[in-house]
């Protein structure tokens, strides 16, 4: 998973929008998905005819994920540390399997989507809102 995330960060660095933000690149320093697995709260199946099927899964994942990334600026090459921890996801996930066939692997495409807006939150790794902890607000 960490390798896939690093690959995505590398691709993102080449995006024109990101370049316009004066970002040279991103380096994944640390990643862990943690020990907590997503919880399946409810599942529903839908008949879409003889060559497709759909499933909705209500998912809750209050993860222990940790991702530490260095955002590297273009002008001076400064490394700005970014930390994302304890991603929380509550909401439905829809899976549609199409072009069902008897030949392996048994389908032509798998579509994954979020049918309604999920609740997503990221824990603040530094709960102190004072940007300079050496002074009193």
- Confirm whether 133 is domain-assigned: no
- Confirm whether 134 is domain-assigned: no
pLDDT tens digits, 100-110 = 999 999 999 99
- Confirm whether 119 is domain-assigned: yes
Residue 106's domain comprises 2-123
Q: How far apart are CA 45 and CA 47, in angstroms?
A: 7
CB 93 within 8 A of CB 112: yes
CB 58 within 8 A of CB 91: yes
- Confirm whether 130 is domain-assigned: no
pLDDT tens digits, 15-70 = 777 777 777 888 889 999 889 999 999 999 999 999 999 999 999 999 998 999 99
- Confirm whether 135 is domain-assigned: no
CA dihedral 111, 15, 10, 83 (to 10 degrees): -90
- Confirm whether 131 is domain-assigned: no
- Confirm whether 82 is domain-assigned: yes
pLDDT at 137 over 70: no
Quote the number of domains for the chain.
Answer: 1
Percent of the chain beyond pLDDT 70? 88
- Confirm whether 136 is domain-assigned: no
Pairing of strands 66-73, 79-98: antiparallel
- Burial of residue 69, with CB atoms counted within 10 A of its CB: 0-12 exposed, 13-18 middle, 19 or more buried: buried
Question: Structure pTM?
Answer: 0.64
Strand intervals (E) in 1-137: 23-32, 39-47, 52-62, 66-73, 79-98, 109-113, 119-123
What's the sign of the alpha-carbon dihedral 123, 119, 72, 64? positive
């Amino acid at each position: 998973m960490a390798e896939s995330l690093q690959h995505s960060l590398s691709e993102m660095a080449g995006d024109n929008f990101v370049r316009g933000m004066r970002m040279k690149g991103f380096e994944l320093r640390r990643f862990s998905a943690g020990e907590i697995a997503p919880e399946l709260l409810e599942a529903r199946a839908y008949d879409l005819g003889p060559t497709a099927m759909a499933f909705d899964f209500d998912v809750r994942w209050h993860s222990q994920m940790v991702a530490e990334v260095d955002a590297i600026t273009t002008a001076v090459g400064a490394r700005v540390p970014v930390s994302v921890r304890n991603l929380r996801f509550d909401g439905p996930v829809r899976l549609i399997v199409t072009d069902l066939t008897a030949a392996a692997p048994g389908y032509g495409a798998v579509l994954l989507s979020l049918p309604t807006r999920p609740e997503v939150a990221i824990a603040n790794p530094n709960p102190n809102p004072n940007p300079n902890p050496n002074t009193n607000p």
